[in-house]
């Protein structure tokens, strides 16, 4: 989280607020039998006061932390005026807390220890740590009033709190800069979690883009600006300490998470050769950096991140979560393969990293579509291009406006996702007038229509509404019919339809060739196109059985990729798979790319 955007509103005062859910879930949103989710997360992303000062209106979410507290989940997001609560990782209630910093929280830290949840904001001033034993009620108390101030520009910005259960010692990690490293310090629980010795904070992790290709700045790592390190998070696994960090910049498709490993909480730390651990430069939602790692009630690991939107402002973002874990060699990984397609929520501990993928494929990519009206050049075809930075704008924001996609053959439709855009929005605060309403229809002939989803009774804001159908439907045409949005314009970036076409999965791509560049941070990858492929996943990793990384490329793009995310001195292995509207091919033979 780049800190300069929040400093304008620093204050030592705290604002008491009423305790109540802002948008309680309706009965229809709690439909039983719904078991899947789809990134970006379907929550009521907040408008906020910072946008009013900058005169740019958009919903946004960034720098997520999800905490499992006593078997329930709490989500904290930058500048949101509150936080979210869930019992199942599917349905999220927004909570307005009893007290909150007047300047709001940037990149908050949160931690659950025994019966208490601790919460702390990014700051360069003296700020308190909050705590709650009943965070689902919104009641927060001061754990300490003012954490002592560190030297100028040191922080703690983008903090992460950590409690070592084996030693009962407490730590904080922080940093958000292209000048300073990630820092760490021990906290003294006997003195209300102030610094044990505020002069003994340590620089722990720096960026080395000359050695680590993925740490280079810019889109596809092509900029020479000095990169940013931020978003510290600590996970302890099998007596090893995994200090995670986001790099190289939140406003690019290559924003990812990396890790260093140590045998003690404050190091010394060694760079993991398989970095980045979470990386999603291709597909609909780009970017997987600056999040946290948590375990669900079944013991499964998850990694959260901040995908990039950048329509109204370069730092406009959403929230994603990906299955994660540690393999038998204690290698940490996050699975972003099909990371913006529907996935199941686990009901037990999974054993294969792809167990949660539903196999519901994207049916709507580049399909013909029509709309009742269009403003200027904001064509409805842009809702089918899997790009959140292009969008359709209706001629008027009125009830009954619609867009219809022709899937070109009858398919088994299982889910839809509606992604709104804040085009020329004039909304600067989330309140009772901010909600989304629509209906979804299905037809086999474009004449007779059946309602398959109806959100018109709801008054929840769902800017990235994901609808799993209670039962799949056979249909060729799917229609969105507008009800209400609070902004002056009806604008949709992507109307995504998922299911299966009932035809054959694509063949395995042939002639995969990988050539390591003279600059070993880069590799040139080519393959032979497959008929009827919607796209391809380039899989790579540091061993043939550890192809944990994915770069998704659509089938209408060139059959070549320059991968610029490699580490100097590390050998890599590669494979490729094709996917279409019915399924995924077997992966190719593994290629040793040196």
d(CA 414, CA 474): 9
**215 has a pLDDT exceeding 90:** yes
pLDDT tens digit sequence for 97-154: 998 887 899 999 999 999 999 999 999 999 999 999 999 999 999 999 888 888 888 9
Report the alpha-carbon distance of residue 142 to residue 495 in Å, rounded.
Answer: 44
pLDDT at 145: 85
Least trusted range by pLDDT, from 12-16, 58-62, 269-273, 567-571 = 12-16
Q: In the predicted model, what is the mean pLDDT of residues 34-40?
A: 95
* Percent above pLDDT 90 for the chain: 87
Per DSSP, the residues of 9-37 read: G--S-EEE---EESSPPPGGGG-TT--EE
State the pLDDT at residue 32. Answer: 55
CB contact at 8 A, 453 and 417: no
List, as one string, the DSSP characters of 324-364.
EEE-TT--EEE--TTTTS-EEPPSS--SSTTTTB--PEE--
Least confident of 31-35, 82-86, 364-368: 31-35
Contact 124, 135 (CB under 8 A): no
- The 10s digit of each residue's pLDDT in 371-417 is 999 999 999 999 999 999 999 999 999 999 999 999 999 999 999 99
Residue 436 has pLDDT above 80, yes or no: yes
For each of the domains in the chain, give its residue range(s) and CATH number, in order of start. 3-25+36-344 (2.115.10.20), 361-500 (2.60.120.260), 513-592 (2.60.40.10)
User: Please, are residues 75 and 64 in contact by the beta-carbon 8 Å criterion?
Assistant: yes
């Amino acid at each position: 989280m780049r800190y300069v955007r929040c400093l304008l509103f620093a204050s030592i005062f705290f604002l008491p607020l009423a305790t109540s859910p802002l948008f309680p879930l309706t009965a229809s949103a709690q439909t039983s039998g719904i078991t899947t989710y789809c990134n970006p997360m379907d929550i009521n992303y907040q408008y906020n006061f910072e946008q009013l000062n900058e005169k740019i209106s958009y919903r946004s979410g960034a720098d997520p932390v999800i905490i499992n507290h006593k078997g329930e989940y709490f989500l904290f997001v930058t500048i949101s005026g509150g936080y979210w609560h869930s019992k199942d990782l599917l349905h999220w209630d927004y909570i307005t807390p009893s007290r909150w910093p007047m300047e709001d929280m940037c990149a908050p830290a949160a931690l659950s220890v025994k019966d208490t949840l601790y919460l702390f904001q990014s700051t360069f001033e003296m700020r308190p740590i909050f705590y709650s034993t009943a965070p689902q009620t919104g009641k927060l108390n001061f754990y300490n009033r003012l954490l002592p101030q560190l030297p100028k520009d040191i922080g703690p910005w983008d903090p992460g709190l950590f409690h070592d259960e084996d030693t009962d010692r407490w730590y904080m990690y922080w940093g958000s800069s292209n000048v300073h490293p990630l820092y760490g310090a021990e906290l003294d629980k006997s003195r209300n979690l102030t610094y044990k010795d505020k002069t003994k904070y340590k620089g722990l992790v720096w960026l080395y883009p000359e050695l680590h290709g993925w740490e280079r700045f810019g889109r596809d790592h092509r900029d020479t600006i000095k990169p940013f390190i931020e978003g510290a998070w600590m996970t302890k696994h099998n007596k090893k300490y995994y200090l995670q960090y986001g790099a190289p910049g939140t406003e690019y498709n290559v924003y990812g998470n990396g890790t260093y490993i140590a045998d003690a909480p404050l190091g010394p730390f060694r760079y993991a050769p398989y970095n980045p651990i979470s990386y999603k430069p291709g597909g609909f939602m780009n970017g997987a950096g600056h999040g946290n790692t948590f375990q669900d009630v079944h013991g499964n690991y998850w990694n959260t991140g901040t995908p990039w939107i950048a329509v109204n402002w370069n730092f406009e973002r959403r929230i994603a979560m990906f299955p994660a874990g540690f393999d038998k060699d204690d290698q940490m990984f996050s699975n972003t393969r099909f990371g913006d397609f529907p996935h199941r929520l686990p009901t037990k501990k999974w054993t294969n990293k792809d167990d949660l993928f539903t196999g519901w494929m994207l049916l709507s990519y580049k399909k013909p579509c029509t709309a009742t009206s269009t403003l200027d050049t904001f064509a409805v075809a842009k809702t089918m291009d899997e790009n959140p930075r292009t969008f359709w704008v209706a001629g008027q924001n009125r009830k009954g406006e619609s867009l219809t996609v022709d899937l070109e053959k009858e398919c088994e439709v299982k889910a839809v996702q509606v992604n709104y855009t804040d085009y020329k929005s004039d909304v600067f605060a989330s309140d009772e007038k901010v909600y989304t309403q629509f209906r979804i229809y299905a037809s086999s002939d474009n004449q007779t229509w059946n309602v398959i989803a109806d959100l018109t009774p709801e008054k929840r804001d769902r800017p990235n509404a994901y609808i799993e159908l209670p039962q799949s439907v056979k249909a060729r045409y799917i229609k969105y019919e507008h009800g209400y949005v609070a902004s002056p314009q009806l604008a949709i970036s992507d109307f995504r339809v998922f299911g299966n076409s009932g035809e054959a999965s694509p063949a395995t791509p042939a002639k995969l060739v990988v050539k390591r560049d003279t600059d070993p941070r880069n590799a040139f990858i080519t393959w032979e196109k497959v008929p009827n492929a919607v796209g391809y996943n380039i899989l790579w990793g540091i061993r043939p059985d550890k192809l944990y990384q994915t770069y998704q490329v659509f089938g209408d793009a060139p059959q070549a990729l320059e991968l610029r995310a490699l580490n100097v001195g590390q050998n890599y292995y590669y494979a490729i798979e094709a996917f279409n509207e019915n399924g995924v091919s077997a992966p190719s033979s593994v290629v040793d790319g040196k």
